[in-house]
């Protein structure tokens, strides 16, 4: 598994079960969700919301946690050949913990 580089999220990573979030995001089914969302032109974080809430509870909805999740997603997808395509894409589903997230595009 890829090693997470927390950078400015080191405090959140160490105090908020960041290693478990990283393992969760690196599960094969979640990588497929991120790649499928990217293929469909949607933010990679969008389909992860229900599973994140089930696994980590309300704490995952805190702003700093969501930012760390986005930081983790970027590292995962970039390691798989994706590039940032567009930031701050609105997510309109009311039950999603993310109100906006980043879209990625596969670079061949």
* pLDDT for res 9: 98
pTM equals 0.96
Estimate to the nearest angstrom the gap between the alpha carbon of 43 and the chain centroid. 9
Does 97 score more than 90 pLDDT?
A: yes
Does 1 score more than 90 pLDDT?
A: no
Q: Alpha helices, DSSP H only, in 16-62?
A: 18-25, 28-39, 49-56
**3-class SS of residue 88:** strand
45 token code pair: 């974080």
Residue 29 banded pLDDT, cuts 50, 70, 90: very high
pLDDT tens per residue across span 47-91: 999 999 999 999 999 999 999 999 999 999 999 999 999 999 999
Q: Work out the mean pLDDT of the chain and round it to a whole number.
A: 97
């Amino acid at each position: 598994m890829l090693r997470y580089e927390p950078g400015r999220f080191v405090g959140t990573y160490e105090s908020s079960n960041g290693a478990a979030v990283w393992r969760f995001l690196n599960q094969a089914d979640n990588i497929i969700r991120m790649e499928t969302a990217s293929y469909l032109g949607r933010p990679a974080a969008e389909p992860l919301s229900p599973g994140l809430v089930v696994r980590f509870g309300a704490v995952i909805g805190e702003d700093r946690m969501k930012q760390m999740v986005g930081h983790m997603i970027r590292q995962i997808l970039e390691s798989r050949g994706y590039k940032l395509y567009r930031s701050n894409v609105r997510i309109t589903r009311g039950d999603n913990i993310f109100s906006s997230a980043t879209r990625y595009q596969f670079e061949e």
